[in-house]
Chains A and B, each alone.
Chain A
């Protein structure tokens, strides 16, 4: 579904080269040390960064020359996913029309998405008046109304507690099944990968060291770098 072939990129001192093939409809986690290029990988797919060379292909279509809004992708960041001066409903609706001019059918869509993430009662609040978890739900609702087949998550739940994180992962998992999304999630929490992801990739020093079914990756004996990164987490 998402294929990177010989994608090279440079950020400060790090030379990156990515080759990966993410299966359609999968939930794939990306783990690895900080500064290894995890977020850059997502930015390259979303079109926020342009590769020096190589190809990014999504559903057999070359993404070269396509701007972020032309790509079949929604992305949720760790923070700042909402516009502070718009209320929660508008923050969802802006995913349908940047000018916030919605037909009645589209308005119903925004309502429905807010209902699905459990925020309908708070729809007239400003982001500053709700919790961090609720702000991330708004971002999920907006990704829903955009109806893009790929969802990129850049540590969006990192600031939340363990129970809330599971709840969010469940929410994303449900939507993935319902809408047949392909989900790619950068995370610092190995337990999140184990809980939610069918596949997990280990990324270090600008290279994807391994991409395997999650239980297999965490059980691997042939990846010393992964063992060093995980430490006691293996068992």
Chain B
């Protein structure tokens, strides 16, 4: 990429530099307000009481995260290999569907799992959904497709010549695996495993709903309980500090591994394959694909079928839907407003290009429950006016969405900068006028995508609304949680289907807008 750091370019972007600094300031202030008081309080009080409960929570957090990561990757490797090497009807659809689970609201998936495997479910009694098994099932449901998608991207990146060369040199399936496929997969595996471990460490909804008791509680949920039930900020702070240490070191660790592991690589055409022709190989691939489908399909059916049977507009549905939409729109707007100036500056300055992604990851590094703990403490001590809960939820959702929105927008902004900067400065187009005439027109799609990504995150969020919400302030996810908690499973299914439909509309729009528009 051409460096456009010259003096020539600086003045037209003075405004964008100021707004980028402002955006970064907002992010840093929000994170510091969450992180600072936690640190202060945890350091101020006597060193974290190493009571058995704390130990057990930490142990379970790490146990379920490592098992989830190990299982997801273990299923994903043969699944991705089978997908890459076979051609069959519906393969494209299946590959596209891999992006779906992680975009679905977690509470909806949990409900789907309970509808299938719960005591009253179709396969009731096959497994115990409440406890470690259920948590692992849900986490594998989310992360197996994620891992498969990333690994599939790795396999699709193998040059077709490698397979041709292998065929010419008489490689058997085993040679193709050890010489071609495995070396390529191995590069991505540490990054994938750490990413999944991180996501499961910070997992809130799944553990809140399927866990329970000190034997199946994670730090994230324990923080929530300390804040909302025990009204014990110091305890929340010491839990938060441990959570921060775990997540922070994981994010830094994953930053050192392949950058491809975080984003969703686009899949090119799959190379022609000359291996895997034996019956044993066909059966192995078929088995791997069938196993993955067996894990993925039942919860999806558990979401749709009971929902369709119970679609009714209850009195609490409409207000919750309205709140969800309003919060989603507001936090998506906020996320885009923060990401836009930062992406603009990152496209033109080497220094900002390195700094900004790290700042965006802060939202992941500092888990929502930790942020909430800090915000609680700050508000309780310093705020004279009460800040509306909605503002807190919107702020937290925007923060959680930053990495996704940034990834959606930044590459396109960089391309546009490279393409049009010289032309614009030669025409004297700058600042606001340039934004209207050039940027908004050229970047319409990626901007929309950044907005949608944030809206999807916010629409499915249960963490922020559980931490700050109340009986009168509920979104669709928290309504589902409440309905499940009072065993109104039919109403919960109806609500979940509405939420799924909202999400689906956003996802299909996002899919359409994520196709690179080369005509621009």
Residues in B with CB closer than 8 Å to A95 are 169
Interface of B is mostly: helix
B170 CB contact (under 8 Å) in A46, A69, A75: A69
A68 CB contact (under 8 Å) in B162, B164, B179, B180: B164
Q: A48-B272, A79-B161, A80-B161 are in contact. Are A69 and B179 (CB under 8 A)?
A: no
A46–B161 CB distance below 8 A: no
> A221 at interface (Cβ–Cβ under 8 A)?
no
Residues in A with CB closer than 8 Å to B172 are 98
B180–A83 CB distance below 8 A: yes
Expressed in whole angstroms, the Cα–Cα distance for A68 and B164 within the complex equals 8
A69–B159 CB distance below 8 A: no
Shortest Cβ distance from B396 into chain A, in angstroms?
Answer: 44
Q: Which residue of A has the minimal Cβ distance to B183?
A: A85
Expressed in whole angstroms, the Cα–Cα distance for A189 and B73 within the complex equals 48
Q: Which residue of A has the minimal Cβ distance to B176?
A: A98
Q: A48-B272, A67-B274, A77-B161 are in contact. Are A83 and B167 (CB under 8 A)?
A: no
Q: A68-B168, A94-B169 are in contact. Are A83 and B175 (CB under 8 A)?
A: no
Expressed in whole angstroms, the Cα–Cα distance for A77 and B170 within the complex equals 17
Interface residues of A in 58-75 (CB under 8 A from B): 67-69, 73-75
Interface of A is mostly: loop
B168 CB contact (under 8 Å) in A46, A80, A85, A99: A46
Residues in A with CB closer than 8 Å to B179 are 83, 86, 94, 98
Hey, which bits of chain B sit against chain A, CB under 8 A? Answer: 159, 161-162, 164-172, 175, 179-180, 183, 272, 274
Residues in B with CB closer than 8 Å to A81 are 161, 165
Q: A77-B161, A79-B161, A83-B179 are in contact. Are A48 and B167 (CB under 8 A)?
A: yes
Q: A83-B180, A85-B183, A99-B175 are in contact. Are A77 and B164 (CB under 8 A)?
A: yes
Q: A85-B183, A98-B172, A98-B175 are in contact. Are A68 and B167 (CB under 8 A)?
A: yes
Residues in B with CB closer than 8 Å to A67 are 167, 274
Residues in A with CB closer than 8 Å to B272 are 48
Hey, which bits of chain A sit against chain B, CB under 8 A? Answer: 46-48, 67-69, 73-75, 77, 79-81, 83-86, 94-95, 98-99, 146
Q: Which residue of B has the minimal Cβ distance to A100?
A: B179
Q: A83-B179, A83-B180, A98-B175 are in contact. Are A48 and B169 (CB under 8 A)?
A: no
Q: Which residue of A has the minimal Cβ distance to B180?
A: A83
Residues in B with CB closer than 8 Å to A98 are 166, 169-172, 175, 179
Residues in A with CB closer than 8 Å to B175 are 98-99
Among B159, B169, B171, B175, which residue has the most Cβ atoms of chain A within 10 A?
B169
What 5 pairs across the A-B complex have the smallest Cβ distances?
A69-B170, A80-B159, A80-B161, A68-B167, A98-B175
| Given A73-B168, A75-B164, A146-B169, 15 further pairs, Cβ under 8 A | A46-B168, A48-B164, A67-B274, A68-B164, A68-B168, A69-B167, A69-B168, A69-B169, A69-B171, A79-B159, A83-B162, A83-B179, A86-B179, A98-B166, A99-B175
Shortest Cβ distance from B275 into chain A, in angstroms?
Answer: 10
Expressed in whole angstroms, the Cα–Cα distance for A26 and B313 within the complex equals 81
Expressed in whole angstroms, the Cα–Cα distance for A83 and B162 within the complex equals 7
Expressed in whole angstroms, the Cα–Cα distance for A79 and B162 within the complex equals 10
B159–A68 CB distance below 8 A: no
B162–A80 CB distance below 8 A: yes
17 A-B Cβ contacts within 8 A? A47-B167, A67-B167, A67-B274, A68-B164, A68-B167, A69-B168, A69-B170, A73-B168, A77-B161, A77-B164, A77-B165, A80-B162, A81-B165, A83-B180, A84-B183, A85-B183, A94-B169
Q: A68-B274, A79-B159, A79-B161 are in contact. Are A74 and B180 (CB under 8 A)?
A: no
Shortest Cβ distance from A218 into chain B, in angstroms?
Answer: 31
Residues in B with CB closer than 8 Å to A80 are 159, 161-162, 165
Shortest Cβ distance from A127 into chain B, in angstroms?
Answer: 12
Residues in A with CB closer than 8 Å to B159 are 79-80
Q: Which residue of B has the minimal Cβ distance to A78?
A: B161
Expressed in whole angstroms, the Cα–Cα distance for A71 and B165 within the complex equals 13
Shortest Cβ distance from B160 into chain A, in angstroms?
Answer: 8
Q: Which residue of A has the minimal Cβ distance to B175?
A: A98
Residues in A with CB closer than 8 Å to B166 are 98
Expressed in whole angstroms, the Cα–Cα distance for A73 and B172 within the complex equals 18
Shortest Cβ distance from B111 into chain A, in angstroms?
Answer: 45
Expressed in whole angstroms, the Cα–Cα distance for A67 and B168 within the complex equals 8
Q: Which residue of B has the minimal Cβ distance to A94?
A: B169
Expressed in whole angstroms, the Cα–Cα distance for A79 and B161 within the complex equals 8
Q: Which residue of A has the minimal Cβ distance to B277?
A: A67
Among B165, B171, B175, B179, which residue has the most Cβ atoms of chain A within 10 A?
B165
Q: Which residue of A has the minimal Cβ distance to B158?
A: A80
Among B171, B172, B179, B272, which residue has the most Cβ atoms of chain A within 10 A?
B179
A74 CB contact (under 8 Å) in B167, B168, B171, B274: B168
Q: Which residue of A has the minimal Cβ distance to B167?
A: A68
Residues in A with CB closer than 8 Å to B164 are 46, 48, 68, 75, 77
Shortest Cβ distance from A152 into chain B, in angstroms?
Answer: 10
Expressed in whole angstroms, the Cα–Cα distance for A70 and B161 within the complex equals 18
Expressed in whole angstroms, the Cα–Cα distance for A46 and B179 within the complex equals 21
Shortest Cβ distance from A87 into chain B, in angstroms?
Answer: 13
Shortest Cβ distance from A91 into chain B, in angstroms?
Answer: 10
Shortest Cβ distance from A207 into chain B, in angstroms?
Answer: 24
Expressed in whole angstroms, the Cα–Cα distance for A99 and B166 within the complex equals 12
Shortest Cβ distance from B268 into chain A, in angstroms?
Answer: 14
Expressed in whole angstroms, the Cα–Cα distance for A194 and B168 within the complex equals 29
Q: Which residue of B has the minimal Cβ distance to A75?
A: B168
Expressed in whole angstroms, the Cα–Cα distance for A89 and B170 within the complex equals 18
Q: Which residue of A has the minimal Cβ distance to B160?
A: A80
Among B159, B161, B162, B172, which residue has the most Cβ atoms of chain A within 10 A?
B161
Expressed in whole angstroms, the Cα–Cα distance for A77 and B167 within the complex equals 14
Expressed in whole angstroms, the Cα–Cα distance for A131 and B405 within the complex equals 39
Q: Which residue of A has the minimal Cβ distance to B164?
A: A48
Shortest Cβ distance from A75 into chain B, in angstroms?
Answer: 6
Residues in A with CB closer than 8 Å to B170 are 69, 98
Q: Which residue of A has the minimal Cβ distance to B179?
A: A83
Expressed in whole angstroms, the Cα–Cα distance for A77 and B179 within the complex equals 18
Residues in B with CB closer than 8 Å to A75 are 164, 168
Residues in A with CB closer than 8 Å to B167 are 47-48, 67-69
Shortest Cβ distance from A213 into chain B, in angstroms?
Answer: 30
Expressed in whole angstroms, the Cα–Cα distance for A6 and B172 within the complex equals 32
